[in-house]
Chain A
Amino acid sequence: MNPTRKRRLWLVLAVVAAAALATTLIALALQRNVAYLYTPNEVLTGEAGANVTSGEARFRLGGMVAADSLKRTPGTLDARFEVDDGDARLPVVYTGILPDLFREKQAVVATGRMQGGVFVAEEVLAKHDEAYMPKEVADKMGMAHKKHDVPDAQAPASRP
């Protein structure tokens, strides 16, 4: 092998090694930081998997905030509400400021874990437009509703 070829070979090997390292790191980082979205029904029926029910896995809970379910312990930041997907309800506890658009009968996505049958949220997101339901939540609820012949829960925004 002449020196130029040899140098090129080393270069190619180095690039391949770097690419392999980068791919491995990216794959690992992705795997660790991915959070699945489940609806209350999927959690309660165990469809979401055992490590979700046991509280081992961190996941995102999506659905509507059930009517008249929001309760605050007066004078504190502790909030309790229920998330409803039309089939089942799951109680949620959260300590902190709820987002501006958080309201009952509106879509919500909360990130956290199960703890003794209650979803303990670390983060609660409500979307910016009041006529808007996160697409993934709408998809999931739509699927569940088709199964039960329920008319679509997302009322078309009546605009003036």
Chain B
Amino acid sequence: MGFLPELGQVALILALLAACMQALLPMLGAQRGVAALMAVGRPAAYLQLALVGLAFAILTHGFIAQDFSQRYVAENSNSLLPMIYRYTAVWGAHEGSLLLWALILALWTAAVARFSRALPMPVVARVLGVLGVVAVGFLAFLIFTSNPFERLLPAAAEGRDLNPLLQDPGMIIHPPMLYLGYVGFSVPFAFAIAALLEGRVDAQWLRWTRPWTNVAWAFLTVGIALGSWWAYYELGWGGWWFWDPVENASFMPWLAGTALLHSQAVTEKRGSFAGWTLLLAISAFSLSLLGTFLVRSGVLTSVHAFAADPSRGLFVLVFLGIVIGGSLVLYALRAPDNDANAKPFAAGSRETLLLLNNLLLTTACAMVLLGTLYPLLADALELGKISVGPPYFAMMFLLLMAPLVLLLPFGPLTRWQREDMAMPLRMLLPWAALALVLGVATFFLAPQGGWKTAAGIVGATWVAAGTLRFLWSRWTMPGARLTREMWGMTLAHLGIAVFLIGALLDDGLAQQREVAVKPGGSVTLGQHCFVLKGVQHLDGPNYSAERGTVEVLRHCSDPVATLHPEKRSYRGGQVMSEVALDRGFTRDLYVALGEPLGEGAWALRVHVKPFVRWIWAGALLMALGGLVTATDKRFRARWDDGKPQGVRA
């Protein structure tokens, strides 16, 4: 089967041609009104998916069959690599993860082609055309600068290794989830561009794109949460978010996407903010592209910047310039300057609250963008090599998100259009009081947690109680029903409450110590004693390890858990700590084994992390909310020139 990589290469080139067809012909057809050209879009999209899928399958086969005559395979796997990681090694480095990007784009495109039967042909043609342009960029990038099928001649007898950090279950699904989110924003983006080309923003199109935005956002949320979870137990520092440039790169589209979700709802229901929604759709996807550029070009020093290649950076930069610059120019020329459909609204209406939501989220996004790009900017201006510390992000983010949390419960309870703040205020006042009382109580019960712990309790109680108050008032309202959209919103907002508990309580109450311990010795942290029983040698499939046995006792008497942190030395030469965790609903116990320190002593890092799991549980709730919203009946409304139908209640 020696010709397979070449077949993969041919498949990629044919996919590029299919993408070119998909980019040009339907667009031309839509412009000229030629139905035959517009009809090319769908088959071209399916063809592109089939070809990229074939290339991906061939690369995967290369990893499974251990074909070390392929440079990419030889560099990122070896014969000792366990089977499951041979599949995931496909996206373990630059070339393969780009191929995954292209595959996911082809998947989203084919999904759009399949589920857009209800839309008018010119719209579908333009949307598929825009997605085709993006696909052309990425496939060309793959073929010309990052070919995963490049041969290595003579073939290597043995491969290097997959980076051990990536040999982990969390890494199996983190990149696909993240990319499903990143790339998913291409759908609202393509709709925004199609709308600008068409010259009108239609509430029905927006209704059609909303579930797509929700699904993409949900995947991105899960992807970011998985990345954070992975960093927590794999990097061994006990942190879950480092404001690392690459984390920021995935967080910026999330912030813009969150703003987009809310503004799309306003535009769809009330007609307001139409131009703003288009701009946000363009921004969310542009930030996804920027994220890809930051991660893949190696311009930023980061834990993820595994490879740096200037030609790649330049290619993405040019592509980025064309896509972002082109969309913004189009926006400037064609943006709807006066919404004829927009209904006026008063200062105290839900529209105003959602506008504030958008302002805060986009400001936070701009703040993260500035902090992330500032070192690049300073370097370019020869102001020195600098880095921006996490305290900048943490402080600014807290400042910007506090008003958002404060305003959140008001949103669902306030009416559209009308000035009516007295009612929601009256409904929420008791819950605000409850939140404050609980906050004060927390402050006195856990003074070591400081204001952050108290703030976490106040914020979480306020958001949860306010959201449930909304649910209750809908439930008891005669004749009103709870739509899936409302359930989704409720779940996502409760997710924020859960997240606040996790993030702020962990920040306030986490304890950590780094010590040198001899076997038999112990470390005390709060009410827990960690006793190092001993360290044994152990051989794994592709590594050898020193494995510690640490017994954890409550009050140094009742055994709680026995943990086995490891220090692994992979055959590829890399050394890595494998953290041991005792997971719990209210706290995690976290032990990492450091190096031997001589005289039989070992370095040991122990953490007690209260409520840390709630961080990811909150993110999952948010994602679930996004998915539930996407299944709302109103989005399945049939296309019908003029009035929405389908829901014949």
Chain A residues with CB under 8 Å of chain B are 22, 25-26, 29-30, 32-37, 60, 72, 74-77, 96-98, 100-101, 127-130, 132, 134-136, 139-140, 159-160
Contacts and interface: CB of A to CB of B under 8 A. Distances in A.
Interface residues of B, number: 54
B160 A160 contact: yes
B553 interface: no
Centre residue among A30, A32, A97, A132 by max chain B CB count within 10 A: A97
A140 B514 CA distance: 33
Given A26-B367, A36-B384, A75 B574 contact: no
A35 B389 contact: yes
Interface string B231-268: 00000100000000000000000000000000000000
Nearest to A11: B347
17 contacts: A26-B396, A29-B392, A30-B370, A30-B388, A30-B392, A33-B388, A33-B390, A37-B387, A77-B603, A97-B594, A100-B574, A127-B303, A129-B306, A132-B306, A139-B385, A160-B156, A160-B157
Given A77-B514, A135-B301, A159-B160, A60 B388 contact: no
Contact of A135 (B163, B308, B577, B598): B308
Contacts, number: 107
Given A30-B370, A135-B308, A75 B387 contact: no
B427 to A, nearest CB: 27
Given A75-B516, A75-B599, A130 B385 contact: no
Contacts of B573: 130
A70 to B, nearest CB: 11
B133 interface: no
Given A33-B392, A135-B301, A130 B370 contact: no
A34 B75 CA distance: 36
Given A34-B387, A74-B598, A97-B603, 17 more contacts: A29-B396, A30-B374, A33-B392, A36-B385, A97-B514, A97-B592, A97-B595, A101-B574, A129-B306, A134-B301, A135-B301, A136-B385, A139-B385, A159-B160, A160-B156, A160-B157, A160-B160
Contact of B575 (A97, A100, A139): A100
A60 B388 CA distance: 11
A26 B399 CA distance: 11
Contacts of B395: 29
A26 to B, nearest CB: 6
A101 B575 contact: yes
A32 B516 contact: no
B391 A33 contact: yes
Task: Give the residue among B158, B387, B515 with the most A Cβ atoms within 10 A.
Answer: B387
